[in-house]
């Protein structure tokens, strides 16, 4: 099997591909460039194209198909950046991956703690040598109810790790999990929204849950609620979130993802206009912490992403069953 890798990060991903491609007998080449119509020809003669979060629309997929590419492997859990239905109509396979759930789970818990203890505000004031206490009092996690929306691998890990803090936990998912029931109580979504001091999102982005956190949802939440999103930006209506922050309903928002982040994150945009005014508004609040989609970013996760994208594509090309096939 021959694989061409786009958007290769030579400082962390390349050593993983250098290790795993020979292990599995994969011939590969790469570019650090982001895939676009102008450079897709680099993948000519390859069976598999390996990508990250770049949008793959119908013209790009058609060009890859016409070049003989049979499979697209994305080094991400989410695959909403790929027109999967169109790829399938062309007979192309789409592979996504899984990686250590600890990375995102621990990051989400870190954001919860930072929000409850008002850490962004404390650090901001300390940077100008304001060491007073007024306005910096926090809350303790064991006294809070945490609502977890989505109990897949990451959501389950959040719940398991939170169990050591002694907080009450509520969970919502269309498919209940027996392990989760050891630590949390499953409820309907409205009950979770109304009774949680902290709400953390761990659901995939689908048509059905687009903007599941909208103005109506925020209205149901507790005053001074902490909202964490380390999943997908499309789960939250940014306008509604901004209104909730400005009204005081939302006490803290920890956002590792935002709407319309494609083309921004993973690039150096220093000195450039971002063309995302809502992101600029969010970053201006002292009770909002925005990070550039880095919750996943650990040594273990990067290695998992590289290896599992190779394994998934290899099994697909060999006609074998793989849990990574979309």
Q: Which residues are catalytic?
A: 232, 261, 293
The alpha carbon dihedral of 110, 116, 119, 124 has a sign of positive
The alpha carbon dihedral of 269, 271, 275, 279 has a sign of positive
The alpha carbon dihedral of 247, 249, 251, 252 has a sign of negative
CA dihedral 161, 167, 168, 173 (to 10 degrees): -30
Would you state the structure tokens that stand for residue 178, as one six-digit string?
């027996």
**Where does residue 134 rank: exposed (0-12), middle (13-18), buried (19+ CB within 10 A)?**
exposed
Q: Which residues pair with 65 in a beta bridge?
A: none
Tokens 């910096």 belong to residue = 136
Q: Which residues pair with 74 in a beta bridge?
A: 51
CA dist., res. 297 & res. 295, Å (int): 6
Tokens 């890798």 belong to residue = 5
């Amino acid at each position: 099997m021959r694989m061409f890798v786009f958007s290769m990060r030579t400082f962390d991903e390349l050593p993983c591909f250098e290790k795993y491609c020979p292990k599995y007998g994969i011939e590969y080449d790469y570019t650090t460039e982001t895939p676009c119509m102008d450079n897709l020809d680099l993948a000519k003669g390859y069976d598999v194209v390996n990508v990250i979060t770049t949008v793959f629309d119908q013209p790009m997929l058609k060009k890859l198909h016409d070049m003989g590419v049979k499979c697209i492997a994305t080094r991400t859990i989410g695959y909403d950046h790929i027109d999967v239905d169109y790829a399938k109509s062309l007979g192309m396979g789409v592979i996504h991956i899984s990686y250590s759930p600890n990375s995102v789970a621990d990051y989400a818990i870190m954001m919860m703690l930072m929000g409850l203890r008002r850490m962004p505000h404390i650090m901001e004031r300390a940077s100008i040598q304001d060491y007073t206490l007024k306005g910096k009092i926090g809350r303790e996690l064991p006294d809070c109810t945490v609502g977890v929306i989505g109990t897949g691998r990451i959501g389950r890990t959040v719940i398991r790790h939170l169990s050591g803090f002694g907080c009450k936990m509520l969970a919502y998912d269309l498919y209940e999990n027996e392990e989760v029931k050891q630590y949390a109580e499953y409820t309907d979504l409205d009950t979770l929204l109304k009774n949680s001091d902290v709400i953390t999102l761990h659901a995939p982005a689908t048509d059905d849950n687009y903007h599941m956190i909208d103005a109506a949802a925020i209205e149901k939440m507790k005053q001074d609620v902490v909202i964490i999103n380390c999943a997908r930006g499309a789960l939250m209506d940014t306008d509604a979130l901004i209104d909730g922050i400005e009204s005081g309903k939302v006490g803290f928002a920890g956002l590792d993802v935002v709407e319309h982040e494609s083309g921004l994150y993973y690039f150096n945009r220093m000195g450039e206009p971002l063309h995302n005014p809502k992101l600029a508004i969010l970053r201006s609040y002292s009770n909002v912490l925005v990070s550039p989609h880095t919750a996943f970013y650990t040594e273990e996760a990067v290695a998992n992403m590289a290896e599992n994208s190779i394994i998934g594509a290899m099994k697909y090309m060999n006609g074998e069953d793989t849990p990574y096939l979309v």
